[in-house]
Amino acid sequence: MKYDGLSILLHWLTALLVITLWALGQSLSFFPKGAPRLTALSVHMVLGLLIAAVILVRIGWRSSAGRRLPAADEGFLNLVAKGVHYGLYLLLVLTVAFGVARAWVHGLHVFNWFTFHRPAFATPGIIYIVSETHSDLADLLVIVAGMHAAAALMHHYVMRDSVLKRMLPRRDAQ
């Protein structure tokens, strides 16, 4: 039994966006100051807003129409799996929220289409805390997502069950 096509698409789109956003966030300082760095930062922010939309669709789909499969494991492993999934959703939401807060307290521009007007309370200390929290949450998200991927690979190669196959894109027209 597999997840439905939309659940699979949203899962892999989320994974791709998380990896892309994290890699871009880690490499922003390598872009030359000025237009190249501002463009890279704008791309990062637009992709961040895209992942926010994907998260909202994903949560809405999962809570209403998305296919619910029986638990792959029972007992303790099922509790761990549920905790990791809820943790990933929480980390996604918090990382995006602090990303928006970071853009706001910095007063950043998005491709000169939109400007986050810096609030009066945005002191250097607040800017630092918000920026570091966004960065730390993104790092934690990638670590937990990596553990999630490692668990899926363990299921596939060690436990030899169908957990990973349930989330792989369909190869046929079933």
Q: Class of the 5-167 domain?
A: mainly alpha
Provide the pLDDT for residue 138.
Answer: 98
Is the confidence at residue 21, as pLDDT, over 50?
A: yes
pLDDT for the residue numbered 173: 47
Task: Write b or e for each residue in 144-160: b if 16 or more Cβ atoms lie within 10 A of its Cβ, otherwise e.
Answer: ebeebeebbeebeeeee
The pLDDT value given to residue 172: 58
Sequence ranges of the domains in the chain: 5-167
pLDDT at 82: 87
pTM of the model: 0.89
Angle, vertex CA 161, rays to CA 156 and CA 164, nearest 5: 50
Residue range 43-67, pLDDT digits in tens? 999 999 999 999 999 999 988 876 6
pLDDT reading at 38 higher than 90: yes
